[in-house]
Amino acid sequence: MSTRVRNYLSLAALALVLVAWALLLRPASLGGPVTYIIIRGSSMQPTYAAGDLVIVRQASEYRVGEVVAYRVPGGEIGAGHIVIHRIVGGDDNGFTLRGDNNPSLDPWNPHASDIVGEAWVAAPGLGRILAALHQPLLLAAFAAAVMVAMVMAWKRSPRAPPSIGSRRRPAHARSSRGPRGPAQVDS
């Protein structure tokens, strides 16, 4: 397979990955259908542990038994924070939720408009890595390491050593024109 074909295939694969990300995994903050949640605490054990990454996506309806992420309703303590728990009931006053590892119900009764989405994909431990990358010092160290690797991998094009007598002559000595105009020829 030629290099040109491999380059086109690589570009096509990259384009496919970018389109898939844009359609399926683009975060809601960028107009996408999903939200990324990093689990903190132990309220959802054994389903999710601290440091897990859970991707939630919006749904048209939510049912009892589903794990959903919701924003604590306005006017409540903790308003705006995102909580991920399981729906255990609900009525006209909102959903009743509880963490899998909690003996009591959540103090909030969010409505469908407060729900960010239902759990779709979970990646155990990946949330710890993402949280670490958001630390400014670690991010700077990572960027510096990438730059050092790029500099070390950069190869200069080999140049032939100059040979004796290969000095460049001044421009006026290389042309048919002298320093003051066209060359004069005696006939």
Residues 10 and 48 in one domain: no
Q: Are residues 58 and 17 in the same domain?
A: no
Q: What is the average per-residue pLDDT within 146-167?
A: 74
Tell me if 106 sits within 8 A of 97, measured CB to CB.
Answer: yes
Query: Are both 115 and 41 inside the same structural domain?
Result: yes
| Per-residue pLDDT at 187 exceeds 50 | no
Summarised one tens digit per residue, pLDDT across range 37-92 is 999 999 999 999 999 999 999 999 999 999 999 999 888 888 889 999 999 998 88
Is 57 within a domain? Answer: yes
Least confident of 12-21, 62-71, 138-147, 150-159: 150-159
pTM comes to 0.65
Comparison of pLDDT for 173 and 44, the residue scoring more? 44
Residue 37 sits in the same domain as residue 118:
yes
The answer to whether residue 56 is domain-embedded is yes
Tokens of 69: 């992420």
Q: How do residues 93-146 score in pLDDT, each as one tens digit?
A: 899 999 999 999 999 999 999 999 999 999 999 999 888 877 888 888 888 999
Question: Per DSSP, which regions of the chain are E strands?
Answer: 34-38, 53-57, 67-71, 82-91, 94-98, 115-123, 177-178, 181-182
Q: Are strands 115-123 and 67-71 parallel, antiparallel or unpaired?
A: antiparallel
Query: Are both 21 and 39 inside the same structural domain?
Result: no
Range of the domain at 101: 33-125
Instruction: Return all residues near 181 (Cβ < 8 A) that are at least 6 apart.
Output: none
Q: How many domains does the chain have?
A: 2
